[in-house]
Amino acid sequence: MITRRIVLASRPGPEGPTEDNFALTEAPLPEPADGEVLLETQYLSLDPYMRARMYEGANYAAATALGEVMPGGTVSRVVRSRSARLPEGRIVTSRNGWQTHHVCPAEGLETVDPALGPVSTALGVLGLPGHTGYGGMIRYGRPQPGETVLVSAASGAVGSVAGQVARIRGARVVGIAGGPEKCRYLTEELGFAAAVDHKAPDLPEALRAACPDGIDVYFDNVGGDIFAAVIPLLNARARVAVCGTIAVDRNQPAKPGIDRLQELHSAILIKQLTLQGFLFDMLGDMQEEFRRDVSAWIRSGELKYREHMVEGIEAAPRAFLGLFRGENFGKLIVHMSG
C-alpha cells in the first residue's frame, strides 16, 4: 500500500509560505497491526494554524519537521481493520495530515454518523471551527440581547458560527469580510445587521457607521490593522475574544506602523476591557452542548454554513495559501475520495 502525501519541503522565507515549500511524494505504508486500521482520506481540512507549523520554533504546538507530512484533520474511511471497534466501511475523524492513506491505532478515532448530514461538516460547522466559534463566543464574548457584537473573518468557518450564535442570543451582529459578495452573504443569508468590507477605503469610518452605539463584544479572528481600528469603538466593559491573528504572520518581523500600545493599555484601564485569548482545547467541556445546539440550529434553518471544496491532494498547497488572501468562501476542504 502506497500513500500519496504532501510534505513540508522547506521552511518559509521572508515572503512567507509559498507553493515551493511543499512537495508531493509517495511512501509505502505498513499493514495494520493488531488494534490498527488503514484509513483512506475522504476530506482534508485546511486551516490557518498550519502556517505557524511550517516555521521552526515554538508556537502553541510543535513545528512540522522538514520532510514530514503536513498536519491536518480529516474525515476518513476505514478500508482495512484489525480492530473489533472499527469495522471496514466506518467513517471517522482522524489526524491523517495531507495524505491519501494512513495507518493508525483505532483507539481515539471518533465515528462520524452520515445520518447527521454531509460527513464533511465534521471538519467545519460541526467540527473544530464550529466548536471554536460557538464556545469562544458564548464563554468569552458573553453576548447579551441588544448588545453590538463585531466579528472579523465573519463569512469563514469560525466567524460565521460565532456571529450566528450571537445573533441567535439576541445581539445586533456586525461582520467584517473581504469584498461585496461576502458582505452580502452576511446580511442577506446569515442575518447580520450590517457588514463592513475591510478591503474598501476608510475602514475606521465604515466601522463607526456600522456600529453607532459602539462595540460590546469583538470576536477577533484577524488582529493587525482591523484590531487597531476597533479599539476606539469599544464600549465600557467590552469583551474581546482573541481567537486568531490571520492578518499577521507571527513568524515574520513586525511591520513598521503606528505604535498603538499605549492607546490599547489606556483603553483596557479606562473602559475596563476584558481581553481573553483562547485556544480550542479550552472549550473541550462544551462539546456536548455545541453539537446539540448547532445541529439543531442547522436543522431548523437558524444557522447556515458554507463549504469551499477543492478537488484532489495536488490542489491543497495553492488552496491553503489562498486562506491568507481571502480566496476561500466558507470552510476550506479538500475532497480526496469517496
Ligand X SMILES: NC(=O)c1ccc[n+]([C@@H]2O[C@H](COP(=O)([O-])OP(=O)(O)OC[C@H]3O[C@@H](n4cnc5c(N)ncnc54)[C@H](OP(=O)(O)O)[C@@H]3O)[C@@H](O)[C@H]2O)c1
Whether 67 contacts 19, CB under 8 Å = no
Write down the residue that cell numbers 521572508 correspond to: 14
What 3 state SS string does 24-60 have?
Answer: EEEEECCCCCCCEEEEEEEEEECCCCHHHHCCCCCCC
Minimum Å gap between C-beta 53 and ligand X is: 11
Minimum Å gap between C-beta 76 and ligand X is: 20
Minimum Å gap between C-beta 156 and ligand X is: 2
Minimum Å gap between C-beta 181 and ligand X is: 9
**280 HSE (CA, 13 A, CB side):** 14
Minimum Å gap between C-beta 47 and ligand X is: 5
Backbone φ and ψ of 20, nearest 5°: -65, -15
Nearer Cβ to ligand X (77/305): 305
Lookup: cell for 241:
475574544
Minimum Å gap between C-beta 210 and ligand X is: 15
Backbone φ and ψ of 140, nearest 5°: -110, -25
Which spans of this chain sit near ligand X (rule: CB under 6 A)?
47-49, 129, 132, 153, 155-159, 177-178, 182, 198, 221-222, 226, 243-247, 278-280, 323-324, 326, 328, 331
Nearer Cβ to ligand X (137/226): 226
Nearer Cβ to ligand X (199/292): 199
In angstroms, the CA 110 to CA 268 distance is: 42
Lookup: cell for 215:
462595540
Closest of 132, 131, 70 to residue 99, by C-alpha: 70
Write down the residue that cell numbers 463569512 correspond to: 155
Lookup: cell for 245:
491573528
Nearer Cβ to ligand X (40/307): 307
Nearer Cβ to ligand X (143/159): 159
Nearer Cβ to ligand X (38/70): 70
Closest of 195, 191, 190, 246 to residue 221, by C-alpha: 246
Nearer Cβ to ligand X (72/244): 244
Strand pairing class (36-45; 22-28): unpaired
In angstroms, the CA 241 to CA 264 distance is: 15
Minimum Å gap between C-beta 222 and ligand X is: 4
